[in-house]
Amino acid sequence: MRLTKATSLIIIAISVPIAIELRTVAGFFNIELPLIAVAIIEFLFLGLMFVLYGLYGEKDNSVSP
Amino acid sequence: MATASQRTFVDRFPDEAAVVKANFLVAFVALGIGAFFGLVQTLHRTNIVRVIDSADYYTMLTGHGVLLAIVFTIFFLCGFFHWAIARSLDRPAESKLFSWAWFGLMTTGSALAAIAILGGLVPNLGISADVLFTFYAPLQAHPIFYIGLAMFIVATWLAGADWFLSYRVWRKDHEGERIPLQTFMVLTTMIMWYIATIGVAVSVVFFLIPWSLGLIPSVNPLLTRTLFWYFAHPIVYFWLMPAYMMWYTILPKLSGGRLFSDPLARVVFLLFLLLSTPVGIHHQYLDPGIAEGFKFIAMTNTMFLLLPSLLTAFTAVASMEHGARQRGGEGYFRWLGALPWRDPAFTGMAFAGILFAAGGFSGMINAGMNINYLIHNTLWVPGHFHLTVGTAVALTMMAGSYWLVPQLTGTKLYSRPIGLLQVTMWFIGMVFMSNAMHRAGLAGIPRRTAEPQYQNFDFVTPIGSIFELRVQIALGGTLLFLSVVLFLFNMLLTSLGEESDRPVDEYLPAPLSGAEGSPRILDNLTMWTGIAVLLVILAYTLPVAAIIQNGGGLFGGGLPVPATISAGLDLATTALTGAVNTLVGVIA
């Protein structure tokens, strides 16, 4: 699946709740993550995803209905 | 032979399409106004921007709740059900005039209620209805608010009669056939609605209207609360069932496949018919006038309601997986990538389903009697229902519109990328807002408050800060408002577009497992209605009897006494003994 604008949007959307709850999960282990750290992690994650998709993404096999 | 253009709904059923469009128009106008009120509120209570008086906050809160949770959802539902009945029975409504009559009555009732609410912003007018969405006593509204609501409810009854009439005529020509799935879903939902609205009809007509007109001096507040919640829990399912209907009958097609199981869908809708109503007391865990035993029974009933929702989750995901594999998807999870994520109708419904799962979990906290005490009347509760009605229902309805509206207008969707941006923005906005609301609720921040900032007292949250939560709520609320603007913009330009022969592929394929393999008793609506009524009688007779006895009678006024189960039992026994004696006397 090749990275498309739609896929990018969906990945961003799904990663937002994960990033928000990252602080809660870290809190369970007594690790206090500052907000800025979460924002940096989120941007790094997105960058990594884009690079991985760009390098190893399959050919787009989805068909628009 | 049908031509391509005749396959479009508006070409086959032009009169029905006009009724559906009219319903959607009112729904979308209410959505726009309600969303604007939501933006004003979210910025006000988080203290980011305050453009209104705090006293007017409650007017806006009432407007937000009534316009979105009642007007938007139910007008959309009526339009959607009207479409579904005509489509699945393949016949027009029996009387065009009757269809327009219930639409007209609903619109008039909504307009009266809206005038009463908005009148609160003009103090000299002498009309207000700052009673919030939960419009029970002791808060009192202007009589036209209650009269408007009564007209609205009666209009929904007439709409249901319209659809039952279509079904009855269809049945005469189709002896022995199974009820088409979408019609089955409409009819079971409406039976549930008829049973549920008895409570609010009694409350409004016999208590609130006479009280607001000054015809009776007082009401029994706990009775009106109980009658309200008798209606207002099943209304949750009245909102949800059209969303479920889209997940069962439209989402599988959008995924590229078919519904996994028709019988399972029927079982789910029957379970909602049976279990939606006898649970309303779980909203009253902290009401002192109801004995704990009754609350425990309501909690047990509520937990059974998880079953149809879990069955739905299974069926929806199974249908999506089937669709993805039809599109070439493979592997345990890689099939997810083969789904049509570029289609806003699909993506919106999928996002709605994801957040509904989160809303279901927070709902379990609400439903548990002991842990409910922790979050009762806190911001957790709005956090919960913005995931359920605010996303599972509202986002599904908006996403469904991207597929439905072109069928009604005969025009192609104006912009799929804008649609995709809109549903994604809703998802992200709601994650920000509802997540922060849940966490703020755990910190004890109250709901229904214009200024939850207090002198010499700071709320404490274990992770992050209260300031961050406020910013998250304001950011989320703003994204949600912008999302509504994009949606309305897309719908407007779609309706103004050029007509197309085939604006959308509206064919719905047959389920993988059809109705023919399931027991015919599933279609025996009379029997299921009887069982649903019996369950309501069992769940509510004793609590209502106790509330009447303990609260100083039907109209209140007496001194309240401590709630016990035996009080209800005494009153019920006395009433039953009296009835038996009378009957024996008549026979003798």
CA–CA dist B538, B533 (Å, integer): 9
**Nearest chain B alpha carbon to A35:** B464
CB contact under 8 A, B337 and A24: no
Whether B123 contacts chain A with CB within 8 A: no
Whether B330 contacts chain A with CB within 8 A: no
Encode pLDDT of B218-230 as tens digits.
999 999 999 999 9
Encode pLDDT of B79-89 as tens digits.
999 999 999 99
Residue ranges covered by each domain of chain B: 9-189, 539-588
CA–CA dist B567, B550 (Å, integer): 7
Residue B50: predicted pLDDT? 94
CB contact under 8 A, B340 and A63: yes
- Whether B536 has a pLDDT exceeding 80, the answer reads yes
What pTM does this model have?
Answer: 0.92
Reported confidence tier of residue B580, pLDDT bands at 50, 70, 90: confident
Residue B562: predicted pLDDT? 54
CB contact under 8 A, A35 and B464: yes
Residues 81-120 of B with CB under 8 A from A: none
Whether B256 contacts chain A with CB within 8 A: yes
Q: Which of A28-42, B50-64, B299-313, B471-485 has the lowest mean pLDDT?
A: A28-42
Distance, in angstroms, between A8 CA and closest chain B CA?
10
CB contact under 8 A, B342 and A24: no
Whether B406 contacts chain A with CB within 8 A: no
The answer to whether the beta carbons of residues B469 and B436 sit under 8 Å apart is yes
CB contact under 8 A, B463 and A32: yes
Cα B357 to chain centroid, rounded: 16
Residue B1: predicted pLDDT? 41
- Whether A9 has a pLDDT exceeding 90, the answer reads no
- Whether B560 has a pLDDT exceeding 60, the answer reads no
Whether A40 contacts chain B with CB within 8 A: no
Residue B477: predicted pLDDT? 97
Distance, in angstroms, between A62 CA and closest chain B CA?
5
Residue A63: predicted pLDDT? 46
Interface test with A, best of B463, B468, B470 (most A CBs within 10 A): B463
- Whether B412 has a pLDDT exceeding 90, the answer reads yes
- Whether B119 has a pLDDT exceeding 90, the answer reads yes
Residue B586: predicted pLDDT? 64
CB contact under 8 A, A13 and B424: yes
**Nearest chain A alpha carbon to B467:** A35
Residue B371: predicted pLDDT? 93
Of the CA atoms within 13 Å of residue B404, those in its CB half-sphere come to 25
Whether A27 contacts chain B with CB within 8 A: yes
- Whether A62 has a pLDDT exceeding 60, the answer reads no
CB contact under 8 A, A62 and B338: yes
Residue B550: predicted pLDDT? 82
What 3-state class would DSSP assign to B499? strand
Q: Over chain B, what is the mean pLDDT?
A: 92
If we measure between CA atoms, which residue out of B339, B480, B475 comes closest to residue B422?
B480
Whether A25 contacts chain B with CB within 8 A: no
Reported confidence tier of residue B558, pLDDT bands at 50, 70, 90: low
Beta bridge partners of B499: B411
If we measure between CA atoms, which residue out of B147, B110, B131 comes closest to residue B62?
B131
Q: Which of B99-113, B242-256, B449-463, B468-482 has the lowest mean pLDDT?
A: B449-463
Whether B342 contacts chain A with CB within 8 A: yes
CB contact under 8 A, A62 and B505: no
Pick A13's closest partner by Cβ from B340, B346, B428.
Answer: B428
Pick B505's closest partner by Cβ from A1, A20, A65.
Answer: A65
- Whether B75 has a pLDDT exceeding 70, the answer reads yes
Residue A65: predicted pLDDT? 43
Percent of chain A whose pLDDT exceeds 90:
5
Of residues A26 and B153, more confidently modeled: B153
| Total count of residues recorded for chain B | 588
Reported confidence tier of residue B2, pLDDT bands at 50, 70, 90: very low
CB contact under 8 A, B435 and A21: yes
CB contact under 8 A, A6 and B342: yes
CA–CA dist A12, B255 (Å, integer): 21
Reported confidence tier of residue B552, pLDDT bands at 50, 70, 90: confident
Whether A52 contacts chain B with CB within 8 A: no
Interface test with B, best of A1, A3, A8, A10 (most B CBs within 10 A): A10
The set of long-range contacts for B132-136, using a CB threshold of 8 Å and a minimum separation of 24, is B132/B58, B132/B61, B132/B62, B132/B65, B132/B448, B133/B62, B133/B65, B133/B66, B133/B69, B133/B70, B134/B65, B134/B228, B134/B232, B135/B208, B135/B228, B136/B203, B136/B221, B136/B224, B136/B225, B136/B227, B136/B228
Q: Cβ contacts (< 8 Å) between A64 and chain B: which residues?
A: 340, 342-343
Residue B40: predicted pLDDT? 97
Whether A60 contacts chain B with CB within 8 A: no
Q: Which of A40-49, B181-190, B318-327, B480-489 has the lowest mean pLDDT?
A: A40-49
- Whether B567 has a pLDDT exceeding 70, the answer reads no
**ipTM of the assembly?**
0.79
Known catalytic residues of B?
233, 237, 384-386, 447-448
CA–CA dist B285, B376 (Å, integer): 9
Q: Which of A24-28, B329-333, B523-527, B581-585 has the lowest mean pLDDT?
A: B581-585
CB contact under 8 A, B338 and A17: no
**Nearest chain A alpha carbon to B254:** A65
Residue with tokens 């609410």, as numbered in its chain: B117
- Whether B44 has a pLDDT exceeding 50, the answer reads yes
Interface test with B, best of A1, A8, A9 (most B CBs within 10 A): A9
**Nearest chain B alpha carbon to A33:** B464
Distance, in angstroms, between B255 CA and closest chain A CA?
9
Residue A49: predicted pLDDT? 77
CA–CA dist B40, B53 (Å, integer): 11
- Whether B156 has a pLDDT exceeding 90, the answer reads yes
Whether A5 contacts chain B with CB within 8 A: yes
CB environment B514-551: b (16+ within 10 A), e (fewer): ebeebeeebbebeebbeebeebbeebbbbbbbbbbbbb
Whether B468 contacts chain A with CB within 8 A: yes
Q: Cβ contacts (< 8 Å) between A32 and chain B: which residues?
A: 463
CB contact under 8 A, A27 and B435: no
Q: Region B187-214: what's the mean pLDDT?
A: 96
**Nearest chain A alpha carbon to B424:** A13
Encode pLDDT of B417-471 as tens digits.
999 999 999 999 999 999 999 999 999 999 999 988 888 888 998 888 899 999 9
Whether A32 contacts chain B with CB within 8 A: yes
Secondary-structure percent of chain A, ordered helix, strand, coil, rounded to 5: 70, 0, 30
Percent of chain B whose pLDDT exceeds 70:
95
